[in-house]
Amino acid sequence: MFNLNNPRFVGWSNYRTIITDPGFPRLLWNTFVWIACSVAFQFLFGLILALLLAKPFPGRGLYMGLVFYPWALSGFAIGLLWSWLLNGQFGIVNDILMRLGLIKVPIGFLSDERFAMFSVILVNVWYGIPFFAIMILAAIQSIPNELYEAAQIDGAGLFRKLFYVTLPYIRPTIYSTILLRIIWVMNFPDIIYGMTRGGPAGATNILSVNMINIVYYRNNFGLASALGMIITAILLVFAIIYLVLLERGEFEL
């Protein structure tokens, strides 16, 4: 690993610098919270959306176009857009909440440590729901109608149909989509970078954002590369889980 300003071999020094940094445990924790909350809520709302869109209703095409729209935008642009929407002074979100009488003073969504991580996750959830919805919807539409008819004859209600027909049938899609999303969300600094750059005071700093900050502020490509390798190593764990599940046939119907 080298520094462009002074290229030389430094051995494991960059890895040591990252791991022994007092802020490293917090970075890992933030990354975990970011992935766990983002993926869990993206899945939950994606599933609900897919179930709602599974049956035809008037204007479904238009509705689908609207809800899938965020997925077509760039993550960085979304980050910048939401940084203005959630701005404590000029943001439209605060304005609406105040007009509705829900709050008296503006909330510092991105400047208050208590809200910053919540806000970036919220935007990421909004951004990622369409992907889950598209994947799950495609899987739901492939479920043979006979299964539902058989369940109906056996007297199954709405929830029984969901838990005994729909979810088991689309399980392979759910597994593979969740694993893919974990990998993508971990590697996805765009929204956080556009909204907070990891601040305030590191409250929203995750591994991939920190990697950009190292290059942006310090121009230290060696240190950033080492962090990149650490991220790759963590992702490797998920890749192995994916391969093991694949091997066990968990992704097959």
- The DSSP string of 175-214 is HHHHHHHHHHHHT--HHHHHHTTT-STTTT--HHHHHHHH
Looking at beta carbons only, is 112 or 162 nearer to another protein? 112
Among the listed residues 54, 112, 126, 228, the single contact to another protein using CB under 8 A: 112
Among the listed residues 127, 131, 188, 221, the single contact to another protein using CB under 8 A: 221
Determine the Cα–Cα distance for residues 133 and 185; give it in Å rounded to an integer: 16
Among the listed residues 111, 176, 187, 225, the single contact to another protein using CB under 8 A: 111
- 131-160: contacts with another protein (CB under 8 A): none
Determine the Cα–Cα distance for residues 75 and 192; give it in Å rounded to an integer: 9
Least distance between another protein and beta carbon 199 (Å): 6
x-or-dash string of contact with another protein, 61-100, rule CB under 8 A: ----------------------x---xxxx----------
Q: Shortest CA distance to 135 belongs to which of 56, 59, 71, 66?
A: 71
Does position 108 interact with another protein (CB under 8 A)? The reply is yes
Does position 219 interact with another protein (CB under 8 A)? The reply is yes
Positions touching another protein (CB under 8 A) are 4-6, 83, 87-90, 105-106, 108, 110-113, 196-197, 199-202, 213, 215-221
